[in-house]
Structure 1
Amino acid sequence: MTICGEIQPDRRTRLSRKMRVILFFAFEGAAALLIGFAALFLSFEPAWSAERARTAFLKPGDARSGSLLLKTEDGYADASRLGIDVDITVSGPTVRARVTQVFRNPTQDWVEAVYVYPLPSGGAVDTLKMVVGDRVIVGDIKERQQARIIYEQAARNGQKAALTEQERPNIFTNSVANIGPGETVLVQIEYQEPVQQSGNEFSLRLPMVIGPRYNPAPVVQSVDFRPGGGGWGASKSDPVPDRDRISPHVLDPATNAPVNPTSITVRLQAGFPLGETKSHHHTIKTESPDGSTRIIKLAEGAVPADRDFELTWKPAAEKAPSIGLFREHVGGNDYLLAFVTPPSVEQNDRKLLPREVIFVIDNSGSMGGVSIIQAKASLTYALGRLQPADRFNVIRFDHTMEMLFPTSVPADRERVGQATAFVGALQANGGTEMVPAMRAALSDNTGDANYVRQVVFLTDGAIGNEQQLFETINALRGRSRIFMVGIGSAPNTHLMTRAAELGRGAFTHIGSVEQVEERMRGLFSKLENPAVTNLTAKFSDATADVTPSAIPDLYRDEPLILAARLDKLAGSVEIKGRIGDRPWVVTLPLANAAEGKGLSKLWARRKIADAEVAHTTRQESPEDADKTILALALEHQLVTRLTSLVAVDKTPSRPEGEPLKASELPINLPAGWDLAKVFGERPLLPVTPMERRAEAGEAGVQVAALKRAAPAVTAAPGTVQLPKTATDAELRMILGVIFLIFSLVLFGFNRRQALIP
């Protein structure tokens, strides 16, 4: 039927059109709803990416389970944990340690792992083994440059290779090339060191973490760009040329669980009936097969490598042996190791001289957290031990320096009270400019010989320019004696022991607040009692090469540790000295020496240390010192700054054409350290590359906020920046919710419009 003016569709036609409209808007609403859900899902990406991180790239701050990160061109790949097993055997006067490190590659790439780790500064590293599957590859000692060439050539050839290098006497680097996808490689090193003794107590210390180091940068002195004139810029040599090799990436403990789980076993064979055995910073379990043997393990199994392990033991008898003599025959020579503890002179038998004591306290950023509490408590205790006849001063330093008094003052109640209040108000922050503080402490303005001048220096030693400090001490020490007090869970023991040696003093370590009174009491026992001076050693029937070449003064309860290489084991050795104003002499018949292990290695290591000291004190030229060190290292197969251990698997394993990616294994922040104090707060304003090159901070990290507080301090470019751990998850979640609400509204509106007839 036709109606003029309008064509009327039938019912069937109207329904099909209405259905099409409904379906169209339904599809549109569903699409919007899907977009909303997708946006909300994507907003949770940081949460589920933690699981995905095992096979994908991520930032160091994104890790949450204590994983290790392999550095690649694209970022950091989440790696399996690095396991470390330490097996220590104590045989009388010597310690033999075997350290096994596990490198595992979870990525699909062939990688090179680089790991920086600490060892005792007096340790003689002599063995490197690499285990790949069922193959064991043993390393050889080579000159450092030659070992590096061999390693790099093997890496290019696709061969598995390991390289152990000394960066400092207590910092070493392991490099392992061509670890295949999913592959595990074990690298094992061994070292020898002497047991430490103080009075009635014997001890060993295993460093387990390297504290971030403050590395001063070189300063450009002058530039001349005048028209018509020659222009040049001159700069001082870099005080820390190897800053990149001693500053591994440090994990933020706020966003990363500790890594490098370490298990420790100590087999203690003291050589005498044992009394108390104690671990000061770790819980242990102990077995006692017999009266002179202990087997010690960590009670918790593997623990994070974030603090040093310290073990002490005492004899069952009331008094420890005061004399020990041990021998070893190697390669046609006899080697001797002697421990001799001089007797103490009672106070009423001598005349006390008044003292001038200069206290120096480190309040830099690395001392933040527990360390500054320990340091302040130690110095407060020390101030309370001063006598009215003494004189004193207090110096504090970070990137700046402050002397409490213009010069030393009498230790009366008023001034000691001022000093106590000054120390109590100290806060930890800033860089660690240690050399100016040491210069100030050694400035002897009075020169009064009626006072015994002593410098007590409290620090964690977290600097990279140790050599500058040693040279300062050698040049300025005068009549001062330097007593180093190491603070915290991981002090730089190489700096402490060498500074005390050059300063003719002693080193004391305080690892916890509970140790403050005991350790400071022991230190003041040394300060208040006469040293054993003018020490000499003379062999009656043998030609001997003795170390240390210049025998240092000894303080109360300290033993003289003497090592010698002899052409024959005959006659005796006579040791002479003076205790206060009295002569002292002891004679040891060599025929009574007991058999010892590794004494030749210990002798060589101590001779190498003598050569390093001779270089610092300018008794030998750098060329002569290096020649001595190299000859000793090659003869006795030891790792030094001039020699390295290298092990190469003869069979190539990386397929030709497959690239080799470098990776750096991070370390923990030492226990008790405050990350923000060490590396500085995150700057509020953007930092330009030029600003970065001029900024200050602990361990050479460029921090703009610290630069604004201390514009005089600089740090080198190219050092490690802390990872950013913030994400845009909140923004994504907000956008996701907005899209979801909008899509629901749109879908409801469209549906309502579609159903209207």
Structure 2
Amino acid sequence: MDPCCGLLTVSKIPVPLKGISVDVQVKGFVADVSATLKYKNEEQNPLEAVFVFPMDADSAVYSFEALVDGKRIVAEIQEKKEAHQIYDDALTLGQEAFLLEEDDSSGDIFSCSVGNLPPGQEAEVTLAFVRELSVEADGAMRFMLPAVLNPRYTPKDQKKQSVTASIPRASKGSLPYTLELSVSLQSLYRISRVESNCSLTPLQYTKDDKTTAQVFLSPGHRFDRDMELLIYYQDANTPSVSVEGRMPSAEADSLMSKAAMMLSFYPHFPEAEEQSHCGEFIFLIDRSGSMEFNVGNVQNSPRRIDSAKETLLLLLKSLPLGCYFNIFGFGSTFDSFFPESVEYTQKAMDSALEKVKMMSADLGGTEILEPLKYIYSTAGKSGHPRQLFVFTDGDVGNTNQVIAEVTRNADNHRCFVFGIGEGASTALIKGISQAASGTAEFITGKERMQSKALRSLKAALQPAVNNIALRWTLPLGLEAAVVSQLPSAIFTGQRSIVYALLKGKMEETAQGTVFLEYTFKDETFQNQLQFPLQSEKTSSSSDRLLLYESGSPARLQII
């Protein structure tokens, strides 16, 4: 059975979903997504339904509304307890009600509760969110619209099941709805091409300089697997600043009365100083039963465990002589190849390679917390910084606990994570990598696997960067306030993005300068960006303000 999301009654009976239409506006490195879900109650009685759907952990939901029987319902943000009370009261009175909330166990699952949908009634739910695009090893900007929500395994000591635990799965080819998708592209750089794992119409440029374009998903696409877009810009690895103008109608001193900025840095270190040839490399491999499933919902897709093993073998063969390493497998239990980390020699590597080839997905549930605690309890090797590599499909129901454990031990290691297969939890994969100043990669097929693995290893071999800070030089009367977290880690040649707001009067002819400062091997480095204080004009409150939404620290968690 394929792990697809769906609209369900409270008794877990599927409700017919008639269609999904998605409009995506990509502005450089940020995507604004508006998704409309159309469904119908074909039962003889009113029903209460729940639509469970996945969303990238970096997404910020900023709008949610529903159209039922000609009436438009617009969401309001409420405290969680109060929102549930309002929803329950509406059901008691026989009113239509919608409740959108984030799953307590993980930040990449949202569920929409729909109450008292009359018999034969059609409804539309529109959800709008914004997210920053990730950068692939070949420089492509990656946008992914998830269709797959894998059921999350709940450890034995957890009382509350994940919202995904009892979702029924649709058989392949049985989806009664299709996906319509349009993408508008706008960039400071020339748009070279757009690729996808799905069929697209030819790319259409809307300006002669090729900085704007549009593309559409071919008609009739069945939304039974993740839809991936790879957007290639020319010279996109050039540092840049985007400024989005304040809203003219905004109240004084409100958030929208300030200009928003996106700072894009591409730090580079001296090549001779870049990599270290020491380290303790610990590999933690998910061997739970879900790793037996295929990586993707396509023909001849490899099994997740095979994809993890192939990536691990490549990394093992690429480790520097003189380092130390060990390999752990986990499921309901865990074990390791060696009692403690051993020196990386030809003999040790050959032994490990043979053991890796024999690994299978035979260890039961996905309980990653206990092996992490054990690894953190062991002493490291003096003079060899610990680098932890995790391979998992992310099917866990205690994501927040796992991230908290990694965070508590972040000073003692860095964590580099590979999400294996479609539907891998972005909350877990990105969460633990960010908590321990590492990187996150997603493996959804054999293509680009080698480049992703080697990019992670190169980052692990680079000494850590410390004391990351921003310094500004702005005209008198203008102040900058950073509204996103500063990067917890910086790797040479990899993009680092920071969002900020500008408060005060902006002269169109004035310029500003921002400095990204950090310490690398006891030497202070500084990356400088000089930019004109000329912003894009914002004409009305209906305009979609990508930088405001993506830079905002708040997320719509409960409606």
Shorter-chain TM band: 0.7 to 0.9
The equivalences for 1:441-590 within 5 A come to: 441-448=375-382, 450-541=383-474, 542-549=478-485, 551-568=487-504, 571-580=512-521, 582-589=523-530
The 3-state SS of whatever aligns with 1:525 is: helix
Equivalent residue of 2:84, what SS?
A: helix
> For residues 351 and 315 of structure 1, do their structure 2 counterparts lie closer, same or farther at Cα, with a shift above 3 Å needed?
closer
Rounded to whole Å, the distance in 2 between the matches of 1:136 and 1:302 is: 28
CA-to-aligned-CA distance 1:326-349 (integer Å, 9 cap, x gap): 234253333322111112432x35
Match of 1:439 in 2: 373
- 1:394 is matched with which residue: 327, 334, 353? 327
CA contact (8 A) 1:126 1:639 kept: yes
Task: Provide the rounded CA distance (Å) in 2 between the counterparts of 1:599 and 1:67.
Answer: 29
Residue in 1 that maps onto 2:119? 181
TM-fit CA distance, 1:350: 5.3
Contact 1:536 1:551 in 2 (8 A): no
Going from structure 1 to structure 2, the CA distance change for 1:524 and 1:437 (only over 3 Å counts) comes to same
Whether the 8 Å contact between 1:109 and 1:181 is mirrored in structure 2 is: yes
Please list the CA deviations of residues 46-103 of structure 1 after superposition, one character each: whole Å capped at 9, or x if unmatched.
xxxxxxxxxxxxxxx9xx9x99785477x94x75344222211112232111111122
What pairs with 1:291-306 in structure 2 (closer than 5 Å)?
291-299=210-218, 301-305=220-224
For 1:601 and 1:504, how far apart are their aligned partners in 2?
25
Maintained 8 Å contact 1:535/1:576 = yes
Question: For 1:334 and 1:184, how far apart are their aligned partners in 2?
Answer: 41
Cα distance per residue 1:640-698 (max 9 Å; x no partner): 2xxx23xxxxxxxxxxxxxxxxxxxxxxxxxxxxxxxxxxxxxxxxxxxxxxxxxxxxx
Which amino acid in structure 1 is aligned with residue 230 of structure 2? T
Could you tell me which residue of structure 2 aligns to residue 142 of structure 1?
78
Residue deviations 1:585-639 (CA, integer Å, cap 9, x gap) = 133345446439332322223xx4xxxxxxxxxxxxxxxxxxxxxxxxxxxxx41
State the match for 1:172 in structure 2: 110
**Which residue identity is paired with 1:285?**
T
Provide Cα deviations, 1:178-227, integer angstroms capped at 9, x if missing partner. 21211110011111222333573322222222111011133xxxxxxxxx
Which of 413, 424, 427 pairs up with 2:360? Answer: 427
Partner residue, 1:284: 200
C-alpha separation in 2, matches of 1:72 and 1:272: 48
* Helix, strand or coil at the partner of 2:469: strand
Distance 1:217 1:565 in 2: 45
TM-superposed deviation, 1:252 = 5.9
Structure 1 residue 569, shift from structure 2 partner = 6.2
Preserved CA contact (<8 Å) 2:153 2:162: no
Q: CA deviation at 1:520?
A: 0.9
Aligned to 1:345: 270
* 2:66–2:123 Cα contact (<8 Å) kept: yes
1:108 aligns with 2:27: no
Q: Equivalent of 2:284, from 357, 360, 363?
A: 360
Matched, 1:325 2:236: no
Q: Structure 2: 5+ residue runs without aligned partners?
A: 248-253, 294-302, 507-511, 539-544
DSSP 3-state at the match of 2:246: strand
Q: Compute the displacement of 1:503 (Å).
A: 0.8
1:157 aligns with one of 93, 112, 116:
93
How many angstroms apart in 2 are the aligned matches of 1:110 and 1:528? 59
The TM-score, its normalising length taken from structure 2, stands at: 0.85
Are residues 1:201 and 2:140 paired?
yes
Distance 1:483 1:190 in 2: 31
Question: 1:251 matched to which residue of 2?
Answer: 169
Counterpart residue identity of residue 232, structure 2: K
Q: What is the CA deviation profile of residues 415-454 of structure 1, one whole-angstrom value per residue up to 9, with x for unaligned ones?
A: 1111111111111131011011222333442441x22321
Mapped to 2, the partners of 1:67 and 1:371 lie a distance apart of 20
Q: Is the 8 A contact 1:96 1:193 kept in 2?
A: yes
- 1:374, CA displacement in angstroms? 0.7
Distance 2:495 2:321 in 1: 31
Partner of 1:86: 22
Cα separation, 2, equivalents of 1:351 and 1:374: 27
- Indicate the SS of the match to 2:500: strand
Residue 360 of structure 1 and its aligned partner are, at CA, apart by 0.8
Partner Cα separation in structure 2 for residue 125 and residue 139 of structure 1: 11
- Distance (Å, rounded) in 2 between the aligned partners of 1:583 and 1:323: 22
Counterparts of 2:83 and 2:380, CA distance in 1: 52
Match of 1:140, SS? coil
1:268 partner amino acid: L
Partner of residue 603, structure 1: 551
Is the 1:84–1:260 contact (alpha carbons within 8 Å) kept by the matching residues of 2? yes
Counterpart of 2:509 in structure 1 is: none
State which of 154, 177, 182 in structure 2 corresponds to 1:215. Answer: 154
Give distance in 2, aligned partners of 1:261 and 1:176.
21
Deviations 1:344-399 (A, max 9, x none): 432x3557341211011101011113211110110011111012212111001111
- 2:58 pairs with 122, 125, 128, which one? 122
Determine if contact 1:80/1:104 at 8 Å carries over to the other structure: yes
Alignment root-mean-square deviation, CA: 2.8
Asked if 2 retains the 8 angstrom alpha-carbon contact of 1:268 and 1:295, the reply is yes
- SS of 1:83 mapped into structure 2: strand
Query: Residue 150 of structure 2 contacts residue 423 of structure 2 at CA under 8 Å; is this kept in 1?
Result: yes
| Residue type of the alignment partner of 1:282 | C
* Runs of 5+ consecutive residues of structure 1 not aligned to the other structure: 1-60, 219-238, 609-637, 646-757
Residue in structure 1 matching 2:188, options 271, 274, 277: 271
In our comparison, the structure showing a higher alpha carbon Rg is 1
Secondary structure class of the residue paired with 2:424: coil
More relative contact order, 1 or 2 (CA 8 Å, 6+ apart): 1
| Number of residue equivalences | 519
Offset of residue 458 of structure 1? 0.6
Q: Which amino acid aligns with 1:517?
A: Q
* Conservation of the 8 A alpha-carbon contact between 1:534 and 1:553: no
- Amino acid across the alignment from 1:377: E
Residue by residue over 1:462-485, the C-alpha shift from the partner in whole angstroms, topping out at 9 and shown as x without a partner, is 101012212211223342111011
Q: Cα deviation per residue 1:241-281 (whole Å; 9 max; x = unaligned)? A: 3x253434132637x834664332222223321113222x3
Separation in structure 2 between the aligned mates of residue 169 and residue 203 of structure 1, nearest angstrom: 20
- Which string of whole-angstrom CA distances, capped at 9 and with x for unpartnered residues, describes residues 535-592 of structure 1? 1112334544324445412123322211223433664322211344543213334544
Amino acid at match of 1:115: F
Residues 328 and 170 (structure 1), Cα distance of their counterparts in 2 relative to 1, 3 Å cut: farther
Q: Is the 8 A contact 2:40 2:121 kept in 1?
A: yes
User: For residues 396-418 of structure 1, what are the alpha-carbon distances to aligned partners after superposition, in whole Å with 9 as ceiling and x for unaligned?
Assistant: 11111011001111111111111
Residue 141 of structure 1, CA deviation: 2.1
Paired with 1:554 and 1:260, the residues of 2 have a C-alpha distance of 43
What is the alpha-carbon distance in structure 1 between the residues aligned to residue 83 and residue 258 of structure 2?
29
Shift of 1:492: 0.4
TM-score (norm 1): 0.64
d(CA) in 1 for partners of 2:166, 2:31: 28
Query: Is contact 2:288–2:332 with CA below 8 Å preserved after alignment?
Result: yes
SS for the counterpart of 2:201 is strand
Change over 3 Å in CA distance of 1:550–1:192 after alignment to 2 = closer
Partner AA of 1:302 in structure 2:
H
Paired residues of 1:114 and 1:173 also in contact (CA < 8 A): yes
The within-5 A match list for 1:718-729 is none
Percent sequence identity is 24
Cα pair 1:470 1:499 within 8 Å, conserved: yes
8 A Cα contact 2:480 2:500, kept in partner: yes
1:715 corresponds to which residue?
Answer: none
